[in-house]
Structure 1
Amino acid sequence: MHLFLYIPWWIKEIFVAGFQVAWAGFRPDAGYDPVVVRYPLRVTSEWQIFWFTTSITATPSTLSLGLREPTVPGDPRILLVQAAFGSDPTEVVEGLADMEARMAPHVRSIDHGVPGQGSAVELDPRFYAYPTDRKEKNR
C-alpha cells in the first residue's frame, strides 16, 4: 500500500464526497438513486481488503456491505457496495477500481471484466441491482 500517496488522496475524496452529499441535501431533487454493486476484488490479502472496505465506508454516500466468496475456484471475491448516488453503476464501479488501484498499484494489470479494471466500458447488469423499484420512482 502506498500510504504517502493514498492517504492524502483518500482524505481529499472524503471531503469532496462530504460536500457533494451536503449540497444534495439542500436541493429539492437530491439525486439519490441508491444502487448495490457487486465489485470483483483484485486485492486478495485480508489486510488490503480491510483497508479497501474501510476506505469505502469512510467515504460519504458509500458503504461496504459484505464479501461473497467465489462459487467457481479461481474467480475473485465479490465486494458488495451500496452507493447513494448510483444512477450510473458503471461510474460507481470505475470509482471503486480507481480507489483500489491507488491503494494497491500492483493490481492495475488484473482485469475481471468490469469498467475501470481493463477494456470494458459497459457494466453487465449482473454486477448491480437497485434496491427500489425504479419504475415506481419515475411515476
Structure 2
Amino acid sequence: MDFGKIADPTEVFEAADGDASALVDLLRSKGPLSRRTRNALASWLSGEFDAEPKVRGRAPNRGLNVSALKLEMAKVHYHSVRQRRGRRSTSERVLIAVAQRYGLAPDYFRNQLRRAQPRSAKPNPLSEARAFREWQQQKRRTK
C-alpha cells in the first residue's frame, strides 16, 4: 500500500497558511505530485479554501491506524474495480478478492461497504478545503 497517496498535502496547507517554502521545494523536485496534492493545490488556487468556514471548537481527532487505512484503501480499490469491470464479474467475487488482498474478513468488509456512501468518480473539492481548516486548527492547538 502506498500511504503517500492518502497523506495530507501539508505543503499546500502550509502555503495557504502563509509559508510557501515547502510547496516551492515540492514543485521544483522531480518527483510526481500525488492526486490529493494536485486536488488541494487546485482547491486553494480556485479560492475554495477561503470559502470553507473555519472549524469551530476542537478539531476532530482523526487518528488513523493501520486497520482504518487498510479499510479505506480496500474501499477505494473495490469501487475502482467494480467501475472498471462493470457487470462482467459479480460483486461478491470482487468483494472477496479485495478483502483477502487487504487482510480483511469478507463479512466485515461487506458490512463496511453497506455503511459507506457510494464513491463518486470526481473528488469533492470542498473535502480538501475542510481538511485544510482542520489541519489549521490542529496546528494552532499544538503551538
| TM-score, normalised relative to structure 2 | 0.25
Higher relative helix content: 2
Higher relative strand content: 1
Relative contact order, higher structure (CA 8 A, sep 6+)? 2
